[in-house]
Structure 1
């Protein structure tokens, strides 16, 4: 386990003004994220989540520098990485806290192009039981379980209004004491860790408690209110869905955090669970999950039918001329892994050789080029611009 901490620098006022004019980020951007209603899609929030998800592939210092120009100056960014090659586990999550501690973003990094372990884990689709609520993709679930205990404690601290910088240093101290064989029970006056007990399923039982009503507003005048967003691109989007499912299912986490969740924004996300998982969590938080798919991106069609039956949940948005547009019908599973991968790779080379006459007109159902986070970032920026013009 590796934890890296970076302070998000305050930007020069002239840089902030120039950034605000060119990209639409102003002094009230954190206010806007805080005021977004749960279960209502927001183009500006989608834009900043696409930035967070895209830059989560970088180191935490670079990530913090970029976020400083996007309204998070003075905040804190923390990266949590876990690598176990033998277990095919290698993934990273980043927690971002605004300077006023009102907005917290949990972002999961997707499959890294140069990491063989990350790729092998992603294509290992053998299913595993998710808390008696259906079966999920084992290659997604294992890295999530490895990261979650640490993430849960850090998230609990951030949502309690504790400085993420201080909480992360305490987590590093905890880890180092265990590695040294010292007593792991470090006293902390900052925050008690979440009791993330799988037996604690009382509050949000799907058969007894319905999903929170779409459009619920933040508690007016509640000084302890926080706004939580969860995001990720590719594999990161799948991990974001698992995190939301965990927050909803575990009673202690549900009671502490669910009312603060504004939305789960994913980009190029693969399918996560079987029909039972999809049915139960569609009821739970489908109205709060906003999935984005760029053109014929192959990854949202994964895993293929040869790996078993998987289904998407949530609201699906596809790339349009002016940005993201809601689409009622979900994309379906690809037929086979080998066929879809070969088609996607062929489309990649077709794109690189686009200058050859007639080649650009060859239709391909799947594309790897479409999966790049750059595409999702560009369309999200167009959507935000359109929202600013039309007031959406």
Structure 2
């Protein structure tokens, strides 16, 4: 799933070539552009269809593009899927722009009861989590078999977080790499994380618990204040390549 999230940053020919290497014979691309003053230029995603599995991966963006909404606690909420709670307006609008395309692809490609997975890095992780929520709460006939996010920002209010945690027990995996600053934004209490945290420590080991959700350590608070500093640990640890490398090392150690 981390590699699939990383692939979302590539161009369409690269995605299709890699999909064939992975054994997927069908690919659908999703793309919507935005007009100013929306802080994001576009939303991109792709869906891979195979004999047994369907994967939809959402592309993230540079932290610089997210600064406006990630640090704003007063962003107007967007009603949550199926009337459950509320979500960050910018994230919801970004997903809404491609959701009809994604839903059409899922219905087209799921022709043999395949398992369905959503994934994404950074902003893409927020969209993957919301896609899972929309599919489950708005179309109860189909629930994603897994949602994997990497460096996901806080996405929804406590009400939707509770509903999502109940619905996605053992099916949600939210990875945070060491000092990654993006998962600390937007600020609490308006926005909350869903559960199922998997924290990657400085040695590359993966843990199910960590004192990260309760607040950053002093060093981390400084990183959050300087979100755009490219030399900061918080930005280096947010890169999708850092997630892929750390999880590959962890898999090798377990193997």
Shorter-chain TM-score category?
0.7 to 0.9
**How much is the aligned-residue C-alpha RMSD, in angstroms?**
2.6
Change (3 A) 1:236 1:225: same
Is 2:12 the counterpart of 1:65?
no
Please report how far the alpha carbon of residue 329 of structure 1 lies from its aligned counterpart in structure 2 after TM superposition.
5.2
TM-score, normalised to structure 1, is: 0.57
1:112 is displaced (CA, Å) by 4.1
**Structure-2 change in CA distance of 1:324 and 1:269 (3 Å):** same
Contact 2:70–2:185 (CA under 8 A) maintained in structure 1: no
2:241 is the alignment partner of 1:290: no
CA drift at 1:123: 5.6
Q: CA deviation at 1:325?
A: 2.4
Question: Within 5 A, what are the aligned runs for 1:13-92?
Answer: 49-69=1-21, 71-72=22-23, 75-86=25-36, 88=38, 90-92=42-44
Between Structure 1 and Structure 2, which shows a larger proportion of helix residues?
1
The 1:143/1:334 distance shift into structure 2, 3 A limit, reads farther
Pick the aligned partner of 1:349 from 231, 240, 249.
231
Partner residue, 1:319 = 200
SS at match of 1:376: helix
1:150 & 1:123 partners in 2: Cα distance? 30
CA distance in 1, matches of 2:172, 2:249: 21
Q: Which runs of 5+ in 2 are unaligned?
A: none
Q: How does 1:84-123 map to 2 (within 5 A)?
A: 84-86=34-36, 88=38, 90-98=42-50, 101-112=51-62, 116=65, 120=68
Q: 1:373 aligns with which of 228, 236, 240?
A: 240
Residues 87 and 146 (structure 1), Cα distance of their counterparts in 2 relative to 1, 3 Å cut: farther
Give the CA deviation at 1:339. 6.1
Among candidates 97, 108, 129, match of residue 241 of structure 1:
129
Structure 1 runs not aligned, ≥5 long:
1-48, 162-223, 351-365
Query: Which one has a bigger Cα radius of gyration?
Result: 1
1:78–1:269 Cα change, 3 Å: same
2:79 to 104, 129, 132: 129
